[in-house]
Amino acid sequence: VLSGSSAVDESMITGESIPVEKVEGELLIGATMNQHGLLHMRATKVGADTVLASIIRMVEQAQGSKAPIQRMADTISSIFVPIVLVIAALTFIGWTIVGQVSAAATNTAGMMGASNPWIIAIVAAVAVLVVACPCALGLATPTAIMVGTGKGAEQGILIKGGESLERIHAVRAVLLDKTGTITRGKPELTDVVELSSTPADDMLRLAAEAEQGSEHPLAAAIVEGAKARGLTLDRAPEHFTALAGRGLEATVEGHAILVGTRRLLSEHSIASSAVEEHMAGLEQQGKTVMIVVIDGEVAGLVAVADTVKVGSVEAIKQLREQGLEVWMITGDNQRAAQAIAQQVGIAPEHVLAEVLPEDKANHVKHLQERGLVVAFAGDGINDAPALVQADAGIAMGTGTDIAMEASDIT
């Protein structure tokens, strides 16, 4: 970044669910999304040197190194069918010779043959083929695959082929990406803490009305959270200033409002020590906490976090009941990762945090080296190499195109 400031959504590359503030001198990653603000930047890597290009190379390498599982039916058929065809051909030749010799002997005796020897030879050869044909072996497998993929489609699960079904049955370990797979992938308002005489609803309403002037994703989360709580936001801020990396200051309904970080309060000579204990508790849960100041007094806290999807807890519970090892892997920070893992019931030692895109595939390899058949579920660009490397790759239908292309099941 040469100049300017903004928040950048890097979740598709790093797994960080909360947009990252970028200011002059900081690095940007190609394929990430600028949320708001103007950034003047210089490209330092282009073409084959970009992060996205390196991920595509990793996907191609994983595709080339993964040996396909050969079906037992195909193996047997490749040996059995040629043998049967040879036996049928020998039967046809044998019966033809016998028939011709018998016909010649009959004619010599002055009698007419009861049947054409060629027809007898054909019937005998066809009989060998019919008797030897592995009908159950050859027909049951594709029928089962057709029914299985059809049932999956009815449930909204797209299975690319029979090999995917075969591999998923043998899975013994499941790696789940955090952002967008276990969680919703976007910040939501989770906590409102009242710390003064101002009622929590009034504090949240004033903060949300001030945040209506901001395009920041955290601001949008506060506004949506206030509306979800039934609060009416009918007043626009009379004065509004966004402060990059710190928060905002605004005037709403005649009140001077500050919403932001400890640094913002320090700049306005407002002590934040009284709220440290509350903030630390919320931050320990992996939440992003903002302090709300009304007319120079700390009124309370609002916390925002990427929340767990409905059904994630139950799904992980069912996987564990089936005897599978369940792991969570993410590029997000350790604190946020452990907080989500605790909510969904994943053991702390099975949490892999701050993992780079190229290392996700390596973690899949490590589990495979232990002799485990591994499934990986993800939705981001950074998940594509791991989806290909895994024995069974599962992409979320709401994920990126590259993730769905790299997976076996969507």
- Same domain, residue pair 259 and 316: yes
Q: In the listed set 322, 340, 355, which residue is the last one of a domain according to the structure?
A: 355
- Same domain, residue pair 59 and 75: no
Considering the domain boundaries, does residue 314 fall inside one?
A: yes
Coil, strand or helix at 36: strand
Angle subtended at Cα 341 by Cα 336 and Cα 346, rounded to the nearest 5 degrees:
160
Considering the domain boundaries, does residue 199 fall inside one?
A: yes
What span, in angstroms and rounded, lies between the C-alpha atoms of 16 and 48?
A: 24
pLDDT at 109 over 60: no
Residue-averaged pLDDT of the chain: 81
Size of the chain in residues: 410
Mean pLDDT, residues 167-185? 85
Considering all CA atoms of the chain, what is the largest pairwise distance in Å, rounded to the nearest integer?
Answer: 127
Of the candidate ranges 10-14, 156-160, 334-338, the one whose mean pLDDT is the lowest: 10-14
Q: Which tens digit of pLDDT belongs to each residue from 233-265?
A: 888 888 888 877 788 888 888 889 999 888 888
- Same domain, residue pair 43 and 135: no
- Same domain, residue pair 247 and 175: yes
Considering the domain boundaries, does residue 1 fall inside one?
A: no
Of residues 23, 57, 29, the one with CA closest to residue 43: 29
The total number of structural domains that make up the chain: 3
Considering the domain boundaries, does residue 366 fall inside one?
A: no
Alpha carbon distances (Å) from 142 to 74, 148, 160, 320:
11, 10, 14, 30
- Same domain, residue pair 308 and 268: yes
Considering the domain boundaries, does residue 16 fall inside one?
A: yes
pLDDT at 66 over 50: no
Considering the domain boundaries, does residue 125 fall inside one?
A: yes
Considering the domain boundaries, does residue 246 fall inside one?
A: yes
Mean pLDDT, residues 15-41? 78
Q: Which residue has the higher pLDDT, 42 or 356?
A: 42
Angle subtended at Cα 270 by Cα 256 and Cα 244, rounded to the nearest 5 degrees:
70
Q: Which tens digit of pLDDT belongs to each residue from 380-410?
A: 777 888 888 888 888 887 767 777 777 778 7
- Same domain, residue pair 234 and 331: yes
- Same domain, residue pair 100 and 55: no
The fraction of the chain above a pLDDT of 70, given in percent, is 85
- Same domain, residue pair 34 and 101: no
Q: Which amino acid type is present at position 300?
A: G
Do the Cβ atoms of 380 and 403 come closer than 8 Å? Answer: yes
Considering the domain boundaries, does residue 410 fall inside one?
A: no
- Same domain, residue pair 195 and 321: yes
Model pLDDT, residue 156: 76
pLDDT at 69 over 50: no
Mean pLDDT, residues 288-304? 89
Do the Cβ atoms of 192 and 200 come closer than 8 Å? Answer: yes
Whole-prediction pTM: 0.65
- Same domain, residue pair 94 and 17: no
pLDDT at 282 over 50: yes
At 13, which CATH number? 2.70.150.10
What span, in angstroms and rounded, lies between the C-alpha atoms of 363 and 389?
A: 10
- Contact partners, residue 90, CB within 8 Å, separation at least 6: none
Of residues 134, 122, 143, the one with CA closest to residue 81: 134
| Cβ burial, residue 371 (10 Å; 0-12/13-18/19+) | exposed
Model pLDDT, residue 197: 84
Q: In the listed set 333, 355, 377, which residue is the last one of a domain according to the structure?
A: 355
Q: Which residue has the higher pLDDT, 375 or 21?
A: 375
Model pLDDT, residue 111: 47
pLDDT at 67 over 60: no
Model pLDDT, residue 308: 87
What span, in angstroms and rounded, lies between the C-alpha atoms of 400 and 406?
A: 10
Q: Which residue has the higher pLDDT, 374 or 30?
A: 374
Q: Which tens digit of pLDDT belongs to each residue from 356-376?
A: 777 888 888 888 888 888 889
Model pLDDT, residue 314: 92
**Cβ burial 323-359 (10 Å sphere, 16+ → b, else e):** ebbbbbbbbbeeebbbbbbebbebeeeebbbebebeb
What span, in angstroms and rounded, lies between the C-alpha atoms of 270 and 293?
A: 9
Among 33-37, 103-107, 144-148, 279-283, top mean pLDDT goes to: 279-283
Of the candidate ranges 12-16, 112-116, 236-240, 361-365, the one whose mean pLDDT is the lowest: 112-116
- Same domain, residue pair 175 and 319: yes
The fraction of the chain above a pLDDT of 90, given in percent, is 4
Q: Which tens digit of pLDDT belongs to each residue from 76-92?
A: 767 877 888 888 889 88
202 assigned to active site: no
Distance between the two ends of the chain, CA-based, in angstroms? 37
What is the token pair recorded at 71?
A: 């079906």
Of the residues 9, 177, 306, 332, which is catalytic? 177
Q: Which residue has the higher pLDDT, 1 or 62?
A: 1
What span, in angstroms and rounded, lies between the C-alpha atoms of 83 and 155?
A: 42
User: Which residues constitute the domain of residue 33?
Assistant: 6-64
> Scanning the structure block, which residue is given the tokens 């949506």?
224
**Cβ burial 102-134 (10 Å sphere, 16+ → b, else e):** ebeeeeeeeeeeeeebeebbeebbeebeeeeee
Mean pLDDT, residues 270-293? 85
Q: In the listed set 21, 44, 64, which residue is the last one of a domain according to the structure?
A: 64
At 177, which CATH number? 3.40.1110.10
Do the Cβ atoms of 1 and 24 come closer than 8 Å? Answer: yes
Do the Cβ atoms of 186 and 217 come closer than 8 Å? Answer: yes
What is the token pair recorded at 179?
A: 């952002």
- Same domain, residue pair 78 and 60: no
Model pLDDT, residue 113: 47
For β-strands 6-9 and 20-22, DSSP reports them as antiparallel
